[in-house]
A = this chain, B = another copy of it.
């Protein structure tokens, strides 16, 4: 047997939304990066392998960020009281433009990849910028760290400043080029990424959908984020029956694995359609508030069986650590409960689930410690006084609510220690 990883500690994860599975002082064994089992005592056949013993520390699945703009990372927390369009024009587009400069892209994406690693986001769905070369630099930065990700060159050929859009032809060619380069077996893979419907011509959407289907490449974009945006989409695409239909009619909505950010406002039939097509929602709670889009009804979507993960949505969201997104998801659901007592707030286990296994499913079997899942793990170290006085679940909750990268002392992706 080769490539056996064994780590030991207090193991905590969510197999279901309802509760944590806790294995105190136990061993996780993985073979070629896939989990074989969790054991209270190490089985004899594994006794000859090296064991990384994390003592009283807590081992949890790595965090998954289903929606993050790498090219906006530098401006996270800036311009937060601007309105969306003013924020895009005064800050975001100008920043994204800089990624045409390779030196800038290398500096900024290196910082971004470092940060993802430090905060324990081991898998993510990432928007780069419209620069093909810049996007390639991001692929390389993430690969070097050993992180798992889907990375998309941002496609936009209309309705944005000239310095940030491309011709339809260049946008498609750059995308195809990156697909050819990275469609192999690595942990960092391409994803088709129309910014959102309004910055795409019909022609661009059609060709992107064709690429997705031809290569079997997943898709990410934004949908139904705010009322003004939805109205704009209706104006631009009068022949489509809905925002969703703009994507769907172009093979960009579940024809290949698809994740849509926000989806704050969904009609009943849209909820049902997303469920049928297995399209993931990236719930981005901080961004929901910061840009005043509205509050996505998480409890309702959970109850309706939608596939949901969490997104930091940096830089609409300001915090890149997914523990913060877990907390804010609970907080927003509590606010909906304050407004309407019949709305049941989400539990800590539910928010943790969507921040790990919920989003992790977009990458296959990741985000949990069940047999056959990828061993993507974080080792959490807390203060002695806390560890001595509280249960493992209390300690984990405290880390999620108050901890940061300093509490993460080891990170594993597919059984390999990467930091």
Contacts and interface: CB of A to CB of B under 8 A. Distances in A.
Interface of A: 74-81, 107-108, 111, 286, 289-290, 292-295, 318-320, 327, 330-331, 334-335, 337-339, 345, 347-348, 383, 385-386, 389-390, 394, 397-404
A3 B64 CA distance: 53
B348 A76 contact: no
A397 B77 contact: yes
Contacts of A338: 289, 292-295
A398 B319 CA distance: 10
Contacts of A403: 77
26 contacts: A76-B401, A76-B402, A77-B398, A77-B401, A77-B402, A78-B390, A79-B394, A80-B330, A80-B401, A81-B330, A81-B348, A107-B385, A108-B385, A111-B383, A286-B331, A289-B331, A289-B335, A292-B337, A293-B338, A295-B335, A318-B401, A318-B402, A319-B402, A320-B402, A335-B335, A404-B404
Contacts of A394: 78-79
A310 to B, nearest CB: 17
Given A385-B111, A390-B78, A334 B400 contact: no
A81 B345 contact: yes
Nearest to A395: B78
Given A80-B397, A107-B385, A111-B383, 14 more contacts: A74-B389, A77-B397, A77-B402, A78-B394, A78-B398, A79-B397, A81-B347, A286-B331, A289-B338, A292-B334, A293-B338, A294-B338, A295-B335, A404-B404
Contacts of A397: 77-80
Contacts of A386: 74
Chain A to chain B: the 4 pairs with minimum beta-carbon distance, closest first: A77-B401, A77-B402, A77-B398, A318-B401
A345 B82 CA distance: 11
A72 to B, nearest CB: 12
Contacts of A404: 404
A111 B334 CA distance: 30
Contacts of A337: 292
B331 A290 contact: yes
A101 B108 CA distance: 51
B385 A80 contact: no
B400 A77 contact: yes
In this complex, which of A77, A111, A400, A401 has the most chain B Cβ atoms within 10 angstroms of its Cβ?
A77
Nearest to A289: B331
B334 A327 contact: no
A401 B287 CA distance: 13
Contacts of A111: 383, 385
Nearest to A384: B107
A32 B194 CA distance: 60
Contacts of A80: 330, 348, 397, 401
Contacts of A319: 401-402
A289 B334 contact: yes
Nearest to A399: B77
A386 to B, nearest CB: 7
